[in-house]
Structures are given as structure tokens and as C-alpha cells.
Structure 1
Amino acid sequence: MLHMQAEIGEQPEAIRRLLCEEGAQIARVAAALRARQPAVLLLVARGTSDNAATYAKYLFGLVNHTIVALAAPSLTTVYGASLNLAQAAVIGISQSGESTDVVEVMRQAGQAGALTIGLTNNAASPLAASVQYPLLLHAGEEKALPATKTYTASLAALAMLAAHLAGDKRLLEALAALPEALHAVLELEPIMAEAAARFRHIERCVSLARGVNYATALEAALKLKETCYLSAEPYSTADFMHGPIAVVEEDFPALLFAPPGRAQPVMEEMAQALARRRAASLIVARSPDLLRLAALPVAMPVDVDELLTPIVYIVPAQFFALHLAQAKGFDPDAPRGLHKVTRTR
């Protein structure tokens, strides 16, 4: 079995460990945030972790009514700018904890008076050492280059923090049910392997979602780029309608992530628009009406809180990338020219 395949399968237990082993520390960090009452929450990340930060932008805005921004690390590392962060809380996200620019931004944020938090899978990492409050993912070693279980663990840790910060018992209960939901979604692997076989000749596609699952569209596209070398372009459906939809012609491949919730009606409109253009749409959804619009429907077997759907809806995309890479004759564990730890400035 490939490392990537095994690690996709490990996600239920990784989330269970996170819930059991990091809950108390996350509650302490939430208490520190409540005491500090920061004016803004700044998120610092790269790559897959940046997609987790995009999720956090929606999450903390919806659950905690907080102003959230994604950092531009080059302001610090390339331009040498000193930002006024005295009234901010800054969260750095890096599964390895070794992303050079993320660590440097966090170090300088602490010097500027910000409350600093670091999400990482490596307790001995530079990121953990550079922040006031390290939060550990407990995902276990990730041997495949494409991040899978560390991504979903990052999302779950952020959701735990938002829930504790808000005192949202309903969301905490929904988080406790995630491992079982993920177990159910793992049963979709044969369906995604069949989808990959049908799509094995594609060289480009779009990945579409709206709201909290915009992060899912981003992460799905990244996995397809990393493992299959596709030109996979992610969009919010709102942005896609503002011009890029012109690329869609008959049999153009499109992935849509459309869970139940506030964003579902606009996703149904997007699916209808693609159907009119006779696109080859792979739709991941619960709604029978939405699934009927798909060239390849993927019926999700579980309902979860809309805020947590990115944690389960990315799993079919992980399987799709894994099996599409194999169908194309590539090794998804070791994409060409890439390294597990990427250091940029």
C-alpha cells in the first residue's frame, strides 16, 4: 500500500487523537484569546497549510465574528516591513513547523506584541519554539509528500479553537462525531478509483466550491497539481462566473464540492450552468437534485455540521488524486522535484 493511501485511511484516528490529546491545551489558548480580545486575527501559512488558513478565515468570521486576514509573509521576509501587531493575535500553520518564512513572521509578530499561536505536527520544530502557544496536531509521521492527514488535522484543530473560543457546545459535539463520519467517507475509495479511471486522460480541470468549502476547492486542486501534474484551477463559484467559466466547453472536467448548507443553492446554480455547457462534472454532494446534474455523481454517506464539511469533503478528492496519479503512471508518494519541507523566504 502506498503511504498516501495509508495516511488517507489514518485520518479518523488522527482526528480522534487530536480531540483527546490537545483539547485541554486548545481550551487554554481560547481562554488566552478571550482575555486578550484581539482586534484582528492574522493567519500565516504556505502551501496546504495556506488552504487551512483560508478555511480559518471563514470559520472564525462565522463562529467568533472576528476580523480575519491572511498574512503576506514577504512583507516581513523580503521587504523588511515592521507591522503594527500589538492588538493582533497571529496563528502560524505549518505541518512540519519548518517553513522559514512562516517561522520568521511568527517570531517578529511576537516581538511586535502580538499573541502568537502555532499549529504544527512537530513539537520540536522552529515554529513550536517561536510562539507563545504551540498547538500540536498529533497526526503521526506523514511519509507521503502530499499532505492529507495533517491537513484535516489542521482544520479540526482550528475548528476546536473556534468552538472553545465561542463556548459553542454544539460545534464541540459535532467535532466529537468527526472520526465516525470520516470512517464512513473512507468507503468511497472504490468510487473515486473508478472516477479516476474515467478521467485518466484529462490534463486540466477546475475545482469549484463556495464559502467554507472554498478551502476544499483550493486543496483539491493542489493535490491534483502535486500528484498528477494537472493544470487544476480552483475558484469560488462567484469568481468563476465572472469570466473564467468561458473556458468550459463540452466534456470539460469540473470538480464541485456542494454539501448541504447555506452555500448549496449557489452550488446547484453552478452545476446547472455546467450542465448546460455539457461539462464533465464530478459532483461531491448529498442532494439528489445536485447529484442528478453530474456526469459522475459522488454521494456523500454522512451529514455533518456545515462548518465541518471541509474536513470530510476533501477525502474523496484525496482518493481521486491518489488513484488518478496511479492511472497516469505517476507515484503520488513522491511527486517529481518536490520535498516534504519547502523553505522559502
Structure 2
Amino acid sequence: MSEILIKEINEQPHIIQNLIDSEYKVIKGISDKIKGKFNYALIAARGTSDNAARYAQYLFGTYNEIPIALATPSLYTVYNKPPKLSDALVIGISQSGQSPDIVAVIENAKKQGQTTLCITNQPDSPLGNAADYVIPLHCGEEKAVAATKTYTASLTALAMLSIAMSNDMEREKALANLPPVLEETIKAAMETNVNTCRYRYIEHCVVIGRGYNYATAFEIALKIKELTRVVSVPYSSADFKHGPIAAVQPGFPVVMVAPSGEMYGQMKEFSKKMHELEAEIISISDQKEITEGSNLGFRIPAGVPEWVSPIACVLPGQLFARQLAFEKGLNIDKPVGLSKVTETF
């Protein structure tokens, strides 16, 4: 049984609380300084950090009316054809701050006179040194190869920046109330996880989310791949209907993220369709009709606003992936073929 990964998963409520306490005033100051200097944001990231960027697309688009584009680092490092930028905020997200291609995007943006910011667990890293502004994640050392606490901290940092830019006191209060919700979510998920053993022989699955939790689908699918070697593919529920749904046969594993919010009606209809196709449904939701109707249902506490739900919804996914790896007899802390710091060029 993993000691490192489970420890880091359990640290997340405390880390989120510490991040809010330590950095909100700093982030508000950054927001004040960059206000009016950009019309859109470009985010450069890889892996888990790229999934955080997907969350930012919905978050800033909805609450700040700021378009968010995802960078293509290979244009900078391989093709040597970086896009011409104007009136942009360029954000780099990297837990280690060491990936050369992400650093290259920030450095090029500065050469073009754009405002740059980074979110990293290593503020003294090459990425931290390259950016105009740095938001440190305060996660401590993340020893497990599979990132958990740096992901939820990255989501929280993005949420804090969005709140600061909009001066939204209601959302600020909702974020402040989140750490106890995360503790409750972890506790409930660990109790549910005893039934994960039934999936120890699966070789493939899909992970479905939409809206804010499109990012959650990608992150859970990544954790399943990293830890279990199961081929897990993330989809929007809308995209899944455009062809991939044909792969669903009786017993086909479908992980579904369906919390309350604007997308709940869509996800409820998707769940109904999966039942009709006799899929094996693993759900994450605060709605009993979803979790109790699933083959394996992970409950999150009621009342979590949709915009912040990805921070809670990913936790059962992390624990499910970890438990599935254990059931398969795999090395949880050191998955085959992976290293903690990945440098891409």
C-alpha cells in the first residue's frame, strides 16, 4: 500500500487552506498591477498542469469574460515559429518550474513585451525566474510521481486570481469554506473505495465530464493511466456522443463526473443513456440519483458551487486510481516509465 501518495492526497485540505491564507493578498496585488494590461490570456502547461489550464478556460471565461487560449510550446522550441502576441497575459503553470518548453513560452512573451505570470511549487525555478509575477503553491515537496496536491493547489491559485480580478466577495467566501469540504470528500471516498476491487481486471475506460469538470475528466483519466496502466480516455459528454459512444457495450467502464450546476441536466441525461447501454458506471456527484444509480458512486458534499467543484471532484478520482493500482499489485509511488520532473523541449 502506498504511503507517500495517500499522505499527499490527505494533505490537500491543509495545503489549500495554507495557500488561501498565504497568497490571497499577494494575488490581489498582482491583479491590481496587471489590470487593464491585457485582453486575453495564453496559458502554457504540460500534463497535470495543462488540465488546470482547461479549468481556467471555463473559470475566466465565465466570471471574468477573458478568453483563455492554450499555448502550443512546440511552436517555440521545435518549429521556432512563436505566434505574435499583443495585449496578452501569458501564464506558465508547472509544479517543478523546470520544463524548458514552458519556460521558452514565458521568455518569448517577455521579449514581445507581454505581461507574464507563473504558477509553480518552485518559485526559484527557471520558470519562476523568467516570469514577471509568481504565485507559489506552498505544497511542500511532492514526492509521489503522480501529482495530486500540486494539481488542486493550481486550481485554487487560478480561482483566487479569478476572484481577485472580479472582486467577487461571494466567491471568495465559497473558496474560504472549501477546505472542510475537501476533508469530508476524502473521508467519504476512502469508505467507498473498498468496492474498487471489482475493477482490478479492467484494461480500458472512459472518463466523462463537461463544463468546469471537463478538466476533471482529463485529470482523472491521467491519474488512472499513470497509476494503473489502464487505457483511460477523457471526453466531454457532448464530444462522446459524436462517435466514441459506439464503443460502449454491456460492462464497458464509464467514469462520470456529474456534480450539481448548469451542466447537471446534461450529465443526468448522459447517465440515463449509459444505463440504457448497460455500461459499468463509476460516478462522482453530490446527487443521490446519480451515485445510488451507479455501480460505484462517490459522493461529494452538497452545496459545492459548480465553479469550484473540480477541486473536490478530482479527489475521489485520485483515490480510485490509487486503489485500483493497489488492487492490480502495481508500484503506486513509482509507476513504470515515469519520473517526477519531466523536461520537454
The TM tier, using the shorter chain, reads over 0.9
Asked if 1:299 is matched to 2:299, the reply is: yes
Query: Match for residue 114 of structure 1?
Result: 114
Q: For each residue in 1:266-317, what CA deviation from the matched residue of structure 2 results, as whole angstroms up to 9, or x when unmatched?
A: 0001100100011100111122222343122222234211100000000000
Residue 198 of structure 1 deviates from its aligned partner by 1.4
> Which AA in structure 1 matches 2:341?
V
* Corresponding residue for residue 200 of structure 1: 200
The answer to whether 1:34 aligns with 2:35 is yes
Name the counterpart of 2:245. Answer: 245
Task: Map 1:129-148 to 2 at 5 A.
Answer: 129-148=129-148
**For 1:10, what is the secondary structure of its paired residue?**
helix
Which residue of the partner structure matches residue 2 of structure 1? 3
Greater CA drift, 227-236 or 299-308:
299-308
Q: Secondary structure at the match of 2:35?
A: helix
What residue is the counterpart of 2:286 in the other structure?
286
User: By how many angstroms is 1:192 displaced?
Assistant: 4.2
Q: Tell me the secondary structure at the aligned position of residue 301 of structure 1.
A: coil
AA partner of residue 185 (structure 2)? V
Which residue number in structure 1 is paired with residue 19 of structure 2? 18
**TM-score when scaled to structure 2?**
0.98
Determine the structure 2 residue equivalent to 1:156: 156
Q: Is the 1:195–1:320 contact (alpha carbons within 8 Å) kept by the matching residues of 2? A: no
Q: Please report the RMSD computed on the Cα atoms of aligned residues, expressed in angstroms.
A: 1.1
Query: 2:192, 2:126 → 1: CA distance?
Result: 37
**Could you say which residue in structure 1 is the equivalent of 2:329?**
329
Kept in 2: contact 1:89–1:114 (CA 8 A): yes
> What is the CA–CA distance in structure 2 between the aligned matches of 1:35 and 1:277, rounded to whole Å?
51
- Judge conservation of contact 1:184–1:302 (CA < 8 Å) in 2: no
Note if contact 1:106-1:130 (Cα within 8 Å) is conserved in structure 2. Answer: yes
3-state secondary structure, aligned to 1:116? strand
Residue by residue over 1:24-49, the C-alpha shift from the partner in whole angstroms, topping out at 9 and shown as x without a partner, is 2111111123131x121101000000
Instruction: List gaps (5 residues or longer) in structure 2.
Output: none
- Counterpart amino acid of residue 112 in structure 2: A
1:119 aligns to what SS in structure 2?
strand
Give the aligned residue type for 1:39.
Answer: N
Cα offsets for 1:54-92 (capped at 9, x unmatched): 000111001100111101111111111132223100110
Report what 2:59 is aligned to.
59
Greater alpha carbon shift after TM alignment, 180-189 vs 55-64: 180-189
Q: Aligned partners of 2:122 and 2:199: how far apart in 1?
A: 36
The amino acid across from 1:327 in the alignment is E
Distance in 1, matches of 2:195 and 2:331, equals: 18
Bigger shift: residues 256-265 or 194-203: 194-203
Q: In the aligned structure 1, how far is the partner of 2:121 from the partner of 2:141?
A: 8
Q: State the secondary structure of the residue aligned to 1:12.
A: helix
Q: For the Cα contact (< 8 Å) 1:185–1:302, is it kept in 2?
A: no
Q: Which runs of 5+ in 1 are unaligned?
A: none
Q: How many residues align?
A: 344
Aligned equivalents of 2:296, 2:324: Cα separation in 1: 15
Percent of pairs with identical residues: 43
Report if the CA contact (8 A) 1:192-1:320 is conserved: no
The 2-side partners of 1:87 and 1:290 are apart by: 44
Deviation by residue 1:190-216 (Cα, 9 ceiling, x = unmatched): 334223211111110000011000000
> Is 1:189–1:316's contact at 8 Å kept on the other side of the alignment?
yes
1:244-263: CA deviation from partner (whole Å, max 9, x where unpaired): 01100001001000000000
In 2, Cα distance between the equivalents of 1:226 and 1:196? Answer: 17
* Between 190-199 and 92-101, the greater mean CA deviation after superposition: 190-199
| TM-score when normalising by structure 1 | 0.98
Give the Å deviation of 1:189: 3.7
* Per-residue deviation, 1:156: 0.2
Counterpart of 1:175?
175
Runs of 4+ in 1 over 6 A off after TM superposition: none
Quick one: distance in 2 between partners of 1:16 and 1:85? 36
- Counterparts of 2:196 and 2:233, CA distance in 1: 18
**1: distance between equivalents of 2:89 and 2:192?**
40
Q: Deviation string for 1:155-184 (max 9, x for gaps)?
A: 000000000001111111111011111111
TM-fit CA distance, 1:113:
1.0
Cα deviation 1:106-127 (Å, max 9, x = unaligned): 1111111110000000121111
> Hey, what's the Cα distance between the residues in 1 that align with 2:210 and 2:82?
34
Residue 224 of structure 2 corresponds to which residue in structure 1? 224
